[in-house]
A and B are shown apart, each in its own frame.
Chain A
C-alpha cells in the first residue's frame, strides 16, 4: 500500500513533460522509451547514438534524485519468475504495440493521437486486471 503523493507526482510529471518537450523541440523526436530502446538495442550507435545517450541519462537522473533524497524506495512484490515473465511481456508487448506509458500515454495523447489514447486505455485496463487477479483472486501481495 502506498500513500497518495500529489506534490511529488505533479513535480515529477512536470519534469517528465519537460524532458519529452526538450527532446521534441531540440531533436524533433518523440520521447517514447520503448521505441528508443528497441532501436537502440538493435543498433546502439545508429543516428549518432542519440538514443543510447537518452537511455543512459535515465539512471543518471534517477541517481541524482536518489543522492539528494537520500535513496529511492523500490518495493517489489513479484517473485523473480514473475518478474521474468513480466519483463518478457513488457518487452514483446511494447514492440508489438509500438509504445508504452511514455510513447502512448504521454507523447501520443499530447499530440492528439487516437491510437495512443486507445493503447493507453487498453494497457491500463489489462494492467488493472492483472493486479486484480494477483491481489484479489490469488490473494498475493499487500
Chain B
C-alpha cells in the first residue's frame, strides 16, 4: 500500500513537471535569465504547487498520523547553517548551467533525449560521491 501510494505520488509529480514544461531546460534557464528574455512560468509553477501543498501541510498538522497510519515526518524548525547555504549555492550553479534539477531530470528520462541521461548519470555520481566520500571531509561548519 505504501509502495503503491508512493508510485501514484511519483507519477502525479512527474506528470506535473511535464505539463508545466519544467522538463525542458530552456524553460528553466529562461526563468533564471532575468537580464534576458525572462519567462516567469516557473514562478507560477512553484506558486501553484506551494498553494496546494500548504493546504496538505495544514491538514497533516491536525492529524496524529498519516492516512496509512505512518508517522508524519515534518521536520521541526532549525537554524540556518553554512552547509545549507553552500549546498544551495552549488546546486543553483549546476541548475543554471544545465537547466535541470533532480525531479525534471528523472522525469525527463522518459523522453529518451541523450543529454538528459548524461546529466542524470553525473547527478547520481555527485549524490553518491557526497554520501560516500565528501560527507566525511572534516571542513569546519560543513560537517553534519
Beta-carbon nearest neighbor of B26 in chain A: A75
**CB-contact partner of A131 in B27, B32, B110, under 8 A:** B32
**CB-contact partner of A90 in B11, B94, B115, under 8 A:** B94
With known contacts A92-B126, A93-B91, A136-B36, A62–B14 Cβ distance under 8 A: yes
Beta-carbon nearest neighbor of A104 in chain B: B88
What are the residues of chain A within 8 A of B111 when measuring CB–CB?
62, 66, 71-72, 74
What are the residues of chain B within 8 A of A5 when measuring CB–CB?
21, 41
With known contacts A50-B2, A60-B10, A78-B99, A26–B66 Cβ distance under 8 A: yes
What DSSP secondary structure best describes chain A's contact surface? helix
What are the residues of chain A within 8 A of B135 when measuring CB–CB?
95
Nearest CB in chain A: distance from B51 CB, A: 6
Q: Write the B92-121 contact mask toward A (1 if CB under 8 angstroms, else 0).
A: 111111111111011111110101101111
What are the residues of chain B within 8 A of A105 when measuring CB–CB?
46
With known contacts A57-B8, A123-B95, A91–B103 Cβ distance under 8 A: no
**CB-contact partner of B25 in A76, A92, A113, under 8 A:** A76
What are the residues of chain A within 8 A of B91 when measuring CB–CB?
89-90, 93-94, 97, 100, 123, 126
What DSSP secondary structure best describes chain B's contact surface? helix
Q: Write the B74-91 contact mask toward A (1 if CB under 8 angstroms, else 0).
A: 110111100111111111
Interface residues on B, range: 35 or more
With known contacts A28-B72, A72-B18, A83-B115, A127–B93 Cβ distance under 8 A: yes
What are the residues of chain B within 8 A of A72 when measuring CB–CB?
18, 21, 23-24, 108, 110-111
> A1-47: which have CB < 8 Å to B?
1-6, 8-31, 33-34, 37-38, 41-42
- A84-B118, A93-B126 are known; give 9 further A-B pairs, CB within 8 A: A2-B21, A13-B45, A19-B12, A87-B118, A95-B126, A97-B83, A101-B95, A129-B96, A130-B92
